[in-house]
């Protein structure tokens, strides 16, 4: 534990050698762990690489108090489970589509144009959000993560996640209020 905290301190200071040491130590076991969840080694490798990328990119904000190993395993587990959930949703959608149980919306060309404009406005607004706020919003709205899971994954407090989501939603509401009458 103490060794982990010392290595983490070096990584936070930008020591690439310390990061490489952690990477070499945990990369293969983490890949095997992710593969045991996803059942696909190539996906597992991508997940582990992404976790290490975020670990390095956000090194200064990391708040690990006990073990780098447990932090990495938890992050890989969360991402692997997200992947599985996403695959399940895709599979259900594909089955519904192929079985003919999907419904085709009867929208007019004008409604489609308005909806496209709304989507563009949402995308523009989201792209202007600060990086952390956008990431939190994406994790909650698009990946279905709970605030506590987001807080743990990003090593921030649940209150910070709540505050960032509130600000993101306020910004979105303000930017798209002209379009809300069509919904």
Chain centroid to Cα 63, Å, comes to 18
pLDDT score for 138: 87
List CB contacts of 7: < 8 A, sequence separation 6 or more: 18, 21, 22, 68
- Both tokens of 88, joined, read 């399940």
pLDDT in tens, 54-90: 888 888 887 777 788 888 999 999 999 988 888 787 7
pLDDT score for 179: 59
pLDDT score for 64: 77
The DSSP symbol for 105 reads -
pLDDT score for 44: 93
pLDDT score for 33: 95
Max Cα-Cα span within the chain: 64
pLDDT score for 2: 53
- CA-to-CA distance for 26 and 48, rounded, in angstroms? 9
Positions of the chain with pLDDT under 70: 1-2, 93-94, 96-108, 111, 178-183
pLDDT score for 181: 46
Pair 7, 23: CB distance under 8 Å: no
pLDDT score for 70: 87
pLDDT score for 37: 92
pLDDT score for 117: 79
């Amino acid at each position: 534990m103490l060794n982990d905290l010392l290595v983490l301190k070096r990584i936070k200071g930008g020591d690439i050698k310390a990061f490489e040491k952690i990477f070499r130590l945990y990369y293969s076991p983490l890949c095997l762990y992710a593969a045991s969840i996803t059942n696909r080694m190539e996906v597992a490798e991508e997940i582990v690489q992404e976790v290490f990328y975020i670990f390095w990119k956000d090194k200064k904000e990391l708040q690990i108090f006990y073990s780098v190993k447990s932090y990495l395993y938890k992050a890989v587990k969360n991402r692997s489970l997200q992947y599985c959930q996403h695959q399940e949703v895709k599979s259900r959608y594909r089955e519904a589509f192929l079985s003919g149980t999907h419904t085709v919306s009867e929208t007019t060309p004008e409604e489609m144009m308005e909806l496209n404009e709304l989507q563009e406005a949402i995308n523009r607004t989201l792209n202007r959000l600060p990086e952390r706020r956008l990431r939190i919003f994406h994790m909650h709205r698009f990946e279905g993560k709970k605030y506590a899971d987001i807080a743990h994954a990003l090593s921030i407090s649940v209150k910070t996640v709540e505050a960032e989501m509130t600000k993101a939603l306020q910004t979105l509401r303000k930017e798209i209020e002209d379009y809300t009458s069509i919904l």
